[in-house]
């Protein structure tokens, strides 16, 4: 099942902040965000760990991503991203 991934403005702001504050890691941050998108595009409802309601959390190579899955609409809303290490 394919999902349409949409990043909320707050998540985009988180990503931009990570990117701006880590000049040496910019390629890694871009790669991780793209990897998260690819994972969430397919079978988002099975990715990561379940939380309350539609909420899930995914860990990708030292980063955490929170997202909501709207399974009937095939939509994923990324709520935030942060560095875990």
| pLDDT single digits (tens) 41-78 | 999 999 999 999 999 999 999 999 999 999 999 999 99
This prediction has a pTM of 0.92
Asked if 50 contacts 68 with a C-beta cutoff of 8 angstroms, the reply is no
Could you please report the per-residue DSSP string of 4-20?
EEEE-HHHHHHHHHHHH
Domain ranges of the chain: 4-83
Residue 23 has pLDDT above 90, yes or no: no
Q: CATH classification of 4-83 is 3.30.2310.20, yes or no?
A: yes
Q: Identify the burial level of 67 via C-beta atoms within 10 angstroms of its C-beta, where 0-12 means exposed, 13-18 middle and 19 or more buried.
A: buried
Tell me the C-alpha distance between 48 and 46, whole Å: 7
**Alpha-carbon gap, residue 65 to 11, rounded angstroms:** 9
């Amino acid at each position: 099942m394919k999902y349409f991934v949409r990043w909320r403005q707050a998540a985009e702001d988180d990503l931009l902040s990570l990117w701006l504050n880590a000049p040496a890691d910019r390629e890694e941050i871009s790669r991780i965000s793209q990897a998260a998108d690819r994972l969430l595009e397919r079978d988002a409802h099975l990715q990561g760990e379940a939380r309350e309601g539609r909420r899930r959390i995914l860990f990708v190579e030292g980063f955490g991503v929170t997202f909501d899955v709207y399974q009937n609409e095939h939509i994923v809303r990324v709520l935030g991203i942060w560095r875990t290490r």
